[in-house]
């Protein structure tokens, strides 16, 4: 029995070692998948890419200033995996940006009050290699967002 457990543990380490890729390789794959998603959903021509790798699309312009990383925002959003599966759905949710995943912190700073659009987040700026409940490891994320207000 102990021999079987040791064998299974060894095989787990071997498979994990074969599954490693550099952060640069992961970022490149993520970017390709996000661009493919944008093209499939006719958003590519309107998309902007931040230097972090976050893409955003403003479908409805808002007005006024923009939130910053210290803002408390009130938003409605739907979170999707790139295969279309919804993993989160919030209506008029109030949240501090510093408490959000890095991709949302970056992406929401491009939305004025009343604006609507999309934020597409590479895995490392989402839940990364560990994932979370309902979100697998290395998952790229798409958020449909409406910025209601912020302070």
Q: Tens of pLDDT along 6-42?
A: 454 554 544 454 558 899 999 999 999 999 999 999 9
Q: How many whole angstroms separate alpha carbon 15 and alpha carbon 10?
A: 9
pLDDT digit string, tens, across residues 113-125: 999 999 999 999 9
Would you tell me which CATH number, out of the four given (3.40.50.970, 3.10.50.40, 3.40.50.720, 3.30.930.10), belongs to the domain 21-150?
Answer: 3.10.50.40
| Element at 63 (helix H, strand E) | none
pLDDT at 1: 60
The model's pLDDT over 45-104, given as tens digits with 9 standing for 90+, comes to 999 999 999 999 999 999 999 999 999 999 999 999 999 999 999 999 999 999 999 999
CB atoms within 10 A of CB 49: 14
> What are the C-alpha distances in Å from 68 to residues 52, 105, 109, 128?
16, 8, 6, 23
**Nearest CA among 76, 84, 66, 94 for reference residue 142:** 84
């Amino acid at each position: 029995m102990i021999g079987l457990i040791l064998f299974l543990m060894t095989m787990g380490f071997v498979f994990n070692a074969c599954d490693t890729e550099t952060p640069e390789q992961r970022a490149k794959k993520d970017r390709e998948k996000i661009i493919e998603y944008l093209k499939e959903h006719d958003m590519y021509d309107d998309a902007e890419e931040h230097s972090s790798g976050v893409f955003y699309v403003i479908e409805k312009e808002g007005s006024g200033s923009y939130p910053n990383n210290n803002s408390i925002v009130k938003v409605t959003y739907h979170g999707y995996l790139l295969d279309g599966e919804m993993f989160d759905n919030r209506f008029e949710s109030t949240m501090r940006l510093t408490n959000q995943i890095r991709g949302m912190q970056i992406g929401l700073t491009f939305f004025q009050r009343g604006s609507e659009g999309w934020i597409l987040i590479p895995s490392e700026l989402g839940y990364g290699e560990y994932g979370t409940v309902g979100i697998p490891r290395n998952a790229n994320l798409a958020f449909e967002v409406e910025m209601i207000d912020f302070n």
